[in-house]
Amino acid sequence: MQINFPGNIRIKRIRPRLEGLRSSPFVNIDGEPYARPSLNGRWRVEMDLMCAIEDEYLALSAFLMAMSAGNTTTLPMTTHWLPNDSNGRRLNGFAEAPEFTGNHEGWISEPFAGYTLRTPATRRDSFIDVNVPELSQLRPGHRITLGDRLHEVIGASHIAESDTAQRLSLMPNVRQNADAGSLVVVDQLKLHAQMESAGDLEVWQVPFGEVTAVFVEAF
């Protein structure tokens, strides 16, 4: 079952880490040591979540309870370092849903549509070609979302010295096929995940509270 991440709870800190790109070393039949490469890997994300008012407390408590049953969610992978928009201004990322949406969930803004795939992307590709706005570009260390899968840019170069076309090297490799023209999300980064563990929702003065939860990428 898919659980919506509450749009009104506060993310104090987020620590994503990519794990499992290589398995344990092994020795082949000639006695030589090797590490068997894996193209899968998965993200593990540790989040410190906070609440400060009644609605936030209720939303966070209900979310943790639902996720404890092995359900999946789409995590908002917030970050301070976003690329520019078409006007050369830094993108804003997520905007919280208005208060009148009683289910505590959702956001009011659409992702920036300025980045698209220049050519089709195939599962397990290690790089993609993208169309970019003239006053914007992606750099190593930026992250992107294709579908609901998170990738980090580890290399970037301009195609044929064009200001509006880049080739990006990604980790992990592309998870699923995508057509040319598909949106490459650079501001509202997301990850399909399950909750691995969570501490108790510590409330030091109702409704103020904080909890640390660990999520792993779901397939």
pLDDT in tens, 17-74: 998 876 656 666 777 666 555 656 899 999 999 999 888 899 899 999 999 999 999 9
Q: Is the dihedral of CA 110, 112, 114, 118 positive or negative?
A: negative
Residue-wise pLDDT tens digits, 77-131: 988 888 988 888 878 766 555 554 445 555 556 889 999 999 999 998 999 999 9
Neighbour tally for 74: CB within 10 Å? 16
Look up residue 174 and give its two tokens. 């592309």
Quote the pTM value.
0.83
Domain 79-188, CATH among 3.40.640.10, 2.40.30.290, 3.60.70.12, 3.40.718.10: 2.40.30.290
